Amino acid sequence: MYGTWIVFSRQLLRVMLLLTMIGSSASAQRYFDAPFRSFDATNREWAQEGLTCVAAADMNGDGLPDAVAGQLGIAPPGFPPGIDGVYVYLNQGSVDGAPATFSAPVRYPVLYDPLDVALADIDADGDLDVVLACFFNDIGAFGGNIAILRNNGDGSLQTATYLDTGIHGAHGVCAGDLDGDGDVDLAVTNHGRSGTTISVFANLGNGAFAPRITYETGAADPNGIAAADLDNDGDLDLAVAHDEPARVSILFNDGTGVFGEPSGYPGIFPEVNDGEYGSLVVFDADLDGDSDIAYTSTFAYDEYEDDGKIAILRNNGNGVFSVDLYPYLLPFRDAAVDLAAADLDGDGFVDLLGAEFEEPGLISFINDGTGGFLGARVIPSAGDAFAVAVADLDLDGDPDGLDINR
């Protein structure tokens, strides 16, 4: 997420951009230079609440990563209910080394409180569709949905269709070929009403989905979710980040898209705060060829030490993990509530970028070259950051950063 910051402000729905500067030597670190760039939304009457999630990918086939963000809305007087939405910002490219610019955003309505976004080719037509985890159902009560907005190929989206995720509000969503049949399946966390489950939707091959199959995670409040091969057997497993238990749960795939009993890693952080916003990212921290996990939540801030910690679940190669904690070394900073992974300093090792809710800016965690992490570094941005993504927005060969604030 370094290089370019996109921040959508609560009232203006702004997009902020901060571009990476690259040193001339091979060992030089990359840095983010202020000021960030801002892009105002057009329909400001909709900007009654903040954006909730962000992702970056090429939505219109021009080779440039675009930005997609979900919005949680409150209906202004005179407007009908159901004004939540998703915004698409199309990348206009970079000229003469200047920061990438973005088009005015196009807004598409979504009914049910989108909280997470994934971009994937749901209907196998060669472009990326938008998938949102939505917390409420059609009666405005707890009970989630997945919203799917299909891409017309040019970055414009069709009217949302919905998959019912059950009585618990959906919080996190991921996409991947879970059953090995060549199409993209979906998995969602069921968080509301102290939910303890995830739901998996198998793609039938034409963009339609089989009825959900629900699996227990072994703990309450599952939030973030990611699909990756965690045990090196060639299929995609599921990693789940919980809120208040400060826990990560792993569900292993049997190769057909069926998942077994969860393996849990509870009590990762001291429970001295209320836990919220459990988030994780899967990456190879130590370049040993298997998938490790970085985890955070508001539990990551230790009131006794007045400092935060980042948790690395290190894979031993067959899906068993050991937990290492690395201090922020930034006293009194709030903990990160969302994470992204990329090589931020050009040394070949994957680093981490975190969004700090209720803090101005983001924080980076630089890999020390052994899979450990140095103290966090603050990256200024506009307002409190709630979600973060990374992509090479200006196609200069290094990762840029996007964040939203609420």
Is 187 in contact with 165 (CB distance < 8 Å)?
Answer: no
321-376: per-residue pLDDT in tens?
A: 999 999 988 887 778 899 999 999 999 999 999 998 777 778 999 999 999 999 99
Q: Convert the pLDDT of each residue in 171-227 to its tens digit.
A: 999 999 999 999 999 999 998 767 899 999 999 998 899 999 999 999 999 999 999
Contact 219, 249 (CB under 8 A): yes
Token look-up 């230790």 returns 302
Tokens of 138: 């059609």
Into which CATH architecture does domain 17-276+383-405 fall? 7 Propeller (2.130)
Q: What is the pTM of this model?
A: 0.88
Q: How far apart are CA 82 and CA 235, in angstroms?
A: 38
- Averaged confidence pLDDT in the chain: 83
How would residue 46 be classed by pLDDT, with cut points 50, 70 and 90? very low
The residue type found at 28 is A
Inter-CA distances, 330 with 32, 230, 306, 309, 341, Å: 19, 31, 8, 10, 20
Q: Are 195 and 214 in contact (CB under 8 A)?
A: no
In whole angstroms, give the CA distance from residue 191 to residue 143: 9
Residue with the larger pLDDT of the pair 38 and 134:
134
Asked if pLDDT for residue 388 goes beyond 50, the answer is yes
pLDDT surpasses 70 at 404: yes
Q: What is the pLDDT of residues 266-306, one digit of tens each?
A: 988 876 555 678 999 999 999 999 999 999 987 777 776 77
Tens of pLDDT, residue by residue over 224-261, are 999 999 999 999 999 999 987 789 999 999 999 999 99
User: Helix-strand-coil percent breakdown of the chain, rounded to 5?
Assistant: 0, 45, 55
| Amino acid at residue number 298 | T
pLDDT at residue 1 in the model: 29
Mean pLDDT in residue range 75-93 = 74
Distance from C-alpha of 171 to C-alpha of 189, rounded to nearest angstrom: 6
What was the pLDDT predicted at 96? Answer: 79
Give the pLDDT of residue 32: 56
Which tokens hold the place of 37?
């760039």
Contact 236, 253 (CB under 8 A): yes
3-state secondary structure 123-177: CCCCCCEEEEEEEECCCCCEEEEEEEECECCCCCECCCEEEEEECCCEEEEEEEC
- C-alpha 171/C-alpha 161 separation (Å) is 17
Any idea what the Cα angle at residue 398 is, between residues 184 and 366, rounded to 5°? 90
Q: Is 262 exposed, middle or buried (0-12, 13-18, 19+ CB in 10 A)?
A: buried
Residue that wins the pLDDT comparison between 99 and 83 = 99
